[in-house]
């Protein structure tokens, strides 16, 4: 199976990632500010829903699964990587930056609070969303590398031996 050129794959991954990230952030904020769910639980719920959508979008538009690997195996590997990067790595960053090291969010609030559309947003909004965005950036890097090299690898280990 022929590999997609890396720049094309990165562009498609980026587009899927932007869509999925915006959807994730929308859910995250709805859960916190409209439904009153805690930051930690809102993050877990928005991540789980987004992971499912991400699998189908990435499998269809970004990566082509190896033909000898069944879709259940690919889905299992995808879920393993996603759950690790998003429920371990991302959750750790969100909790630490929204509850313990709030400096980045406070800086974002100070920088953006004076803008007309953003003047009414609370400091908490800036803190939790800055934490979420930084966590997403880190998990996107982890995800791309592991999806490309392991989950959707076009050359399986047994073939390279």
What's the pLDDT tens digit per position in 102-149?
888 888 888 888 888 888 888 888 889 889 889 988 988 898 899 888
Measured CA to CA in angstroms, residue 85 lies from 8, 50, 106 at distances of 23, 13, 25
Cβ contact 90:97 at 8 Å = no
* DSSP annotation string for 27-49: HHHIIIIIT---HHHHHHHHHHH
Question: Distance between CA 104 and CA 86 in Å, rounded?
Answer: 20
| CA geometry: angle 115, 140, 25, nearest 5 deg | 40
Q: What angle in degrees, to the nearest 10, is found between the helix axes of 39-61 and 6-29?
A: 150
Number of neighbouring beta carbons within 10 Å of residue 82:
25
- Supply the pLDDT for residue 160: 47
| CA geometry: angle 16, 24, 122, nearest 5 deg | 135
Give residue-wise pLDDT tens across range 18-66. 999 899 989 999 999 999 999 889 988 998 899 899 988 988 888 865 5
- Supply the pLDDT for residue 81: 93
Tokens of 73: 């195996």
Provide the whole-model pTM: 0.70
């Amino acid at each position: 199976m022929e590999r997609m050129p890396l720049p094309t794959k990165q562009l498609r991954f980026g587009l899927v990632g932007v869509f999925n990230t915006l959807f994730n952030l929308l859910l995250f904020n709805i859960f916190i500010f409209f439904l009153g769910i805690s930051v930690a639980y809102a993050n877990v719920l928005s991540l789980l829903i987004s992971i499912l959508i991400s699998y189908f979008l990435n499998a269809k538009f970004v990566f082509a699964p190896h033909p000898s690997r069944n879709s259940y195996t690919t889905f299992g590997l995808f879920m393993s990587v996603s759950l690790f990067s998003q429920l371990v790595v991302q959750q750790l960053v969100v909790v630490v930056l929204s509850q313990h090291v709030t400096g980045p969010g406070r800086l974002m609030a100070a920088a953006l609070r004076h803008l007309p559309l953003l003047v009414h947003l609370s400091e908490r909004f800036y803190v939790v969303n800055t934490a979420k965005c930084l966590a997403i950036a880190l998990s996107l890097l982890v995800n791309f590398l592991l999806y490309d090299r392991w989950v959707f690898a076009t050359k399986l280990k047994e073939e390279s031996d």
